[in-house]
Structure 1
Amino acid sequence: MSYVELTRLSKKYGTFAAVNDVNLAIAKGLLVCLLGPSGCGKTTTLRLIAGFVEPSEGEIRVGGRTISSPGRSEPPERRNMSMIFQSYALWPHMTVFENVAYGLRLRKLPREEIARRVESILDVAKLKPLADRYPGELSGGQQQRVSLARALVVEPETLLLDEPLSNLDANLREEMRFEIRRLHDQYRYTTVYVTHDQSEAMTTADLIVVMNQGRIEQAGSPEDIYKRPRSEFVAKFIGGANVLKGERLPGDAVDVGGVVLRCGSGDFAAQGPTSVAIRHHDINLATTAPALGETNWVPGTVTRQVYLGSHRDYLVTLSNGEAIRTVTPADIAVPQGQPVWLHLPPEHCRALAH
């Protein structure tokens, strides 16, 4: 049963729709990532859920209770939600213990109950040795854990996170992804997490909701979104893919600029425009021509080659002017300007109807 429900939710500023007819049902205890580029509507959607913004159309229900609709919205403080911002927003004059206890003191809980709950969450968040330190004495990752602990200790119905790792360096960001998932698995709060980082979403989420221009492009598990994109935008945004525009042929074939490609999966148009998506790492690069009659091989010329340590990144231009990116092991070094052949295995080619 759905716990958080967004029904035909829209937020307009004049003629511009920041969020446009969004429908989303989130089961209790799931961690859902709203994923997309800047300006896609994900943060506005989160602020609508939090109650900081009132919808222009549609409604939001939590636990069967309507908390937002045009002209009638519960204030944020009555929604039993905790929100974590990019900036952590810790009180600099309070210790770690005092920061985490702040929400409980506002709720006027007994001193003994506050101490018990704060000590418990500090232990879970691996912050107990830092209880008497001030935020200025902590690393970025430690401050982020304090922010998480403060949000979790009040036992919210819903946890909201707005790009919580964007201020951390790359190594710490990777570590904190797993920390957020660990804490979620322990407490199982219904969580809505906004990010533009696909690796962050793949690591933390039960459900990824890909947004574009205020709408939901696709929602599904990380594996489903990655392996079975339903649009050109999702194919390119998640994991990186080449999208080759073509025309539907009989059976499982698509004509891409005179090259016939067989596709092992996807949504084929009944006829006419059909694209083919294939991930960079699923393409094989060879310097010798394939045997006659082999399918899904295309000739091209290396126009760029970049060494990236663990692998090489190639850009290959086909005779029709189409450019394809592919990656190879680092020890395969083909110079710029050399003719090559690319194999696009049918099982990795996915049709995308326009």
Structure 2
Amino acid sequence: MAFLELADLSMRYGALTVVDRVNLNVEKGNLVCLLGPSGCGKTTTLRLIAGFITPKGGQINVGGRTISSAGWSEPPERRGMSMIFQSYALWPHMTVRENIGYGLMLRKMPQAEIVRLVDKILDVTRLKPLAERYPGELSGGQQQRVSLARALVVEPEILLLDEPLSNLDANLREEMRFEIRRLHDAYRYTTVYVTHDQAEAMTTADLIVVMNQGRIEQAGSPEEIYERPQSEFVARFLGGTNILKGRWLDADTVECGPLKLRCGAGDFSAGGDGVVSVRHHDIVLDSKPQGDGINRTQGTVLRQVYLGSHRDYLIELPGGAQIRTVAEPHLSIDRGQPVWLHFPQEHCRALAR
């Protein structure tokens, strides 16, 4: 039995279904990321787990105990959970030490035990040199670390994070992704993390749950979700990909206009419409003629952008389809020039329509 279970969990507002019969099992000590675009239902799912709203259908179980069901919900304060919001929500008149220890004080723990636990978490989160500062004297990343420390010190059954890094700049966001994973490895609390950022999910998660229109599209490890997407939505959302549509010619080949793509993996079909996903970085681009044939074609550069580590190309294929690909930064081909493209079979994945 999984530690956290969502069984046919549903939430509606009038005629609008926000969470639609979601089923999810989370093992104790795992970090699961709910990933998806705005409006997909991920934050509502998190709020249902926290007990802030009551489900219209299904139930939530923790450790075999039901904490929510249709029309009934155990109060948040009795769930043994900690939640970190997008805003840091630190008390401005309290020091870092006082902010972190506030939850322990509310639990009326002995002062000596509060000091011991706060000192321990200050060490783990590398905040001890900042213990007597106030939130206004901290950087955004330091404030976020204080929020994490305050949530962890009470030893929650489940830790909930609602896009906790959205207010940080790009460099701090990258740093804090690794910090969240480091702290998770240190404490191994069961964690549900909501984000729309695929890099955050890939960096932090044991299990990624991709949501779309209130439902789970696919759940799996970061590698599984990235390498073996099961739908066009998942392929597009997690990592840059090209979706090429055509018809099946035989057991493993899809004809996409003049281009014929032999697929090395995915959902194969004997006939009918076909869809092929090819990641941007898996396409081989060359300025020298390579010839046509299976998995090869000529194209024309519509746009190229220099991004330091690579160049990003938009290419028009014969027949009018457009694809994106990347190349080494030294390979600079001007707009309007011909290029030759190779789509390696092992990187062409057939998707179910």
Question: SS of 2:3's equivalent?
Answer: strand
Question: What residue number does 1:93 align with?
Answer: 93
2:63 counterpart of 1:82: no
Distance in 2 separating the partners of 1:252 and 1:290: 23
1: CA distance between counterparts of 2:195 and 2:49? 16
Q: What does residue 69 of structure 2 align with?
A: 69
Question: What is the CA–CA distance in structure 2 between the aligned matches of 1:160 and 1:308, rounded to whole Å?
Answer: 35
What is the rounded CA distance, in whole Å, between the counterparts of 2:269 and 2:84 in structure 1?
Answer: 43
SS of the residue 2:44 aligns to:
helix
Unaligned runs of 5+ in 1: none
In the alignment, the residues of structure 2 paired with residue 353 and residue 9 of structure 1 have an alpha-carbon distance, to the nearest angstrom, of: 26
Partner of 1:104: 104
Letter of the 1:341 counterpart: W
The superposition leaves residues 46-80 of structure 1 with CA deviations (integer Å, 9 ceiling, x where unpaired) of: 00000001111111001000000112110000000
Q: One-letter code of the match for 2:344?
A: P
Q: Is 1:153 matched with 2:128? A: no
Matches within 5 A, 1:273-292: 273-291=273-291
| Equivalent position SS for 1:200 | helix
| Alignment of 1:219 onto 2:216 | no
Secondary structure at 1:2's aligned position in 2?
A: coil
- Show the 5 A alignment for 1:1-354: 1-291=1-291, 294-354=293-353
The TM-score with structure 1 as length reference comes to 0.98
Distance in 2, matches of 1:139 and 1:288, equals: 51
Letter in 2 for 1:288: K
Displacement, 1:339? 1.5
* Whole-angstrom CA distance in 2 between matches of 1:80 and 1:269: 49
Deviates more, 1:280-289 or 1:24-33: 280-289
Query: Alpha-carbon deviation of 1:273?
Result: 1.5
AA of the residue aligned to 2:326 = V
Q: What is the SS of the residue equivalent to 1:11?
A: strand
Tell me how far apart the structure 1 counterparts of residues 283 and 298 of structure 2 sit (CA, whole Å): 13
Aligned residues, how many? 353
State the alpha-carbon separation in 1 of the partners of residues 258 and 5 from structure 2: 47
Shift of residue 291 of structure 1?
4.4
Q: Give the Cα–Cα distance (whole angstroms) in 2 for the partners of residues 26 and 304 of structure 1.
A: 44
* Partners of 2:60 and 2:271 in 1: CA distance: 40
C-alpha contact 2:59 2:70 (8 A) present in aligned 1: yes
Deviation at 1:248, TM superposition (A): 1.6
Kept in 2: contact 1:33–1:205 (CA 8 A): yes
Q: What root-mean-square deviation, in Å, do the aligned CA atoms of Structure 1 and Structure 2 show?
A: 1.0
Provide Cα deviations, 1:266-291, integer angstroms capped at 9, x if missing partner: 01234212200000000011223324
- Runs of 4+ with >3 A deviation: none
Q: Distance between the aligned counterparts of 1:10 and 1:181, measured in 2?
A: 30
Q: Secondary structure at the match of 1:337?
A: coil
Task: Give the residue type in structure 2 aligned to 1:350.
Answer: R
Q: Does the aligned pair in 2 maintain the 1:273–1:353 contact within 8 Å?
A: no
Q: Residue 338 of structure 1 aligns to which amino acid in structure 2?
A: Q
- Structure 2 distance, partners of 1:291, 1:197, is 39
Q: Which amino acid aligns with 2:316?
A: T
Deviation (angstroms), 1:238: 0.7
What is the alpha-carbon distance in structure 1 between the residues aligned to residue 70 and residue 291 of structure 2? 65
Kept in 1, the 8 Å contact 2:86–2:167? The answer is yes
Q: Whole-Å Cα distance in 2 between the matches of residues 104 and 248 of structure 1? A: 63
Three-state SS of the structure 1 residue aligned to 2:87 is coil
Q: Normalising to structure 2: TM-score of the pair? A: 0.98
